[in-house]
Structure 1
Amino acid sequence: MVAQALLIIDYTNDFVADNGALTAGAPAQAIATSIVTLADQFLSAGDDVILPTDLHVANDPHHPETKLFPPHNLANTWGREFYGPLATWYAAHKDDEHVYAFAKNRYSAFANTNLDNYLRERHITDLHLTGVCTDICVLHTAVSAYNLNYPLTIHEQAVATFTPNGQEWALAHFKDSLNAKIER
């Protein structure tokens, strides 16, 4: 039997809301319903829903993203809170044993975290990826998962990024280089 988990990557106000510090804007907002629908489906099937979420310190001179992006997803800020319908969903389900939210400090949800241990302890073999940004954090998480031999499904209607070109390139890369199934 296949044990699977849904990862909802970085779906926060800073990445999604119009006034977020590093927002993907309308494309990211458009996937809110798809993400929550998938979360409900996975949870009702007894599968895990995992929410790896960026956590940064403003102007950290040791973090490589400081040179690339404005401060975002800072601890204890509105920007790091889950966006819209996902915030409501998480508030209702955060105490469920199959819901796991954790901080990450790199693009990949596997880098410097216990995600691989969490998955293996629960005998989870297949990963379904959603969230933002398709060509950054979702992509790097997918590459890490591939390198750890996790079969991948990317939910096209539940991932978004800054540009159509970035979205198109990442989806092709998932399929052609990581052997991911693209769920439309």
Structure 2
Amino acid sequence: MKRALVVIDVQESFLQRPSWAVSSNPDIAKQVGRLTEAFRAAGDAVVWVLHVEPGTGTVFDPERGFVRLLDGLAPADGEPVLRKTSHNAFTTTNLQQWLTERGIRDLTLCGIRTEQCVETTARLASDLGYPVTVAIDATATEPIAHRDAPPDRSVEEILADPRTLTTAEIIARTEYALAGRFATIATVDELTLR
């Protein structure tokens, strides 16, 4: 076992937000499920990471009950479920120690949000010396409002603003930013039909 799939924030919390209705990949659990099956079949590791914001009262506060994997996903015996409070999967977890103890050197990442926690983890993992692959179609994101947009706008208002970054633009930007610098970009088919 020299490879690991790191599944980042594929959790119920996101489904509780109105913006999930315009997610780039509402069926992300299916793609993640394909990846986990392929990694397990190859004898490789799977690591689950959940984002938590204790005491905030948000959908990421464990007390609200939404900090759990999406339906259809579950860790197998021996697969760790780490909880993080930072954007990347390393800083506030023991992920690096877990990988090092098992001699894992290659990482494949997937999860929610493409440009946020997945991309940030890819950049840090690369800096730590890991060869990184991002399974781009096993990530999901939501449109991002312009920095000058008023707060608390509805999803419809965000979508109507021509300054809003679409999910396709965000994913393309992430591919351009990571490819050849921090990660290899691949599809689930490319990773599972080898």
For the aligned pair, the TM-score class normalised by the smaller chain equals 0.7 to 0.9
Distance 2:8 2:19 in 1: 15
Where does the alignment leave 5 or more consecutive residues of structure 1 unmatched? Answer: 60-69
Identity fraction in percent:
28
Map of 1:175 onto structure 2: 179
Aligned equivalents of 1:169, 1:115: Cα separation in 2: 27
CA deviations on 1:128-162 (whole Å, 9 max, x unpaired) are 00011010000111111011010011112101111
Shift of 1:83: 1.1
1:159 maps to what in 2?
139
Q: Counterpart of 2:185 in 1: which secondary structure?
A: strand
Give the TM-score taking structure 2 as reference length: 0.77
Aligned to 2:62: 75
Whether 1:137 and 2:117 are equivalent positions in the alignment is yes
Cα contact 2:109–2:118 (8 A) shared by 1: yes
**Which is higher, the Rg of structure 1 or of structure 2?**
2
Q: Distance in 1 between matches of 2:64 and 2:6?
A: 22
Q: Does 1:147 align with 2:127?
A: yes
* 3-state DSSP of counterpart to 1:85: coil
Note the 1:105-124 alignment, pairs <5 A: 105-124=85-104
Query: Structure 2 vs 1, CA of residues 40 and 25 (structure 1 numbering), >3 Å: closer, same or farther?
Result: farther
- Alpha-carbon shift at residue 5 of structure 1 (Å): 0.2
- Which residue is equivalent to 1:23? 20
* Alpha-carbon separation, structure 2, partners of 1:143 and 1:26: 23
* Aligned mates of 1:53, 1:108 — CA distance in 2: 11
Aligned-residue CA RMSD (Å):
1.9
TM-score by length of 1: 0.81
In the other structure, the counterpart of 1:102 is: 82
**Pair 181,24 (structure 1): closer, same or farther in 2 beyond 3 Å:** farther
Q: Distance in 2 between matches of 1:148 and 1:170?
A: 19
How many residues matched? 163
Paired with 2:99 and 2:62, the residues of 1 have a C-alpha distance of: 25
Counterpart CA distance in 2 for 1:47 and 1:57 is 32
Q: What letter corresponds to residue 176 of structure 2 in structure 1? A: A
Query: Between Structure 1 and Structure 2, which shows a larger proportion of helix residues?
Result: 1
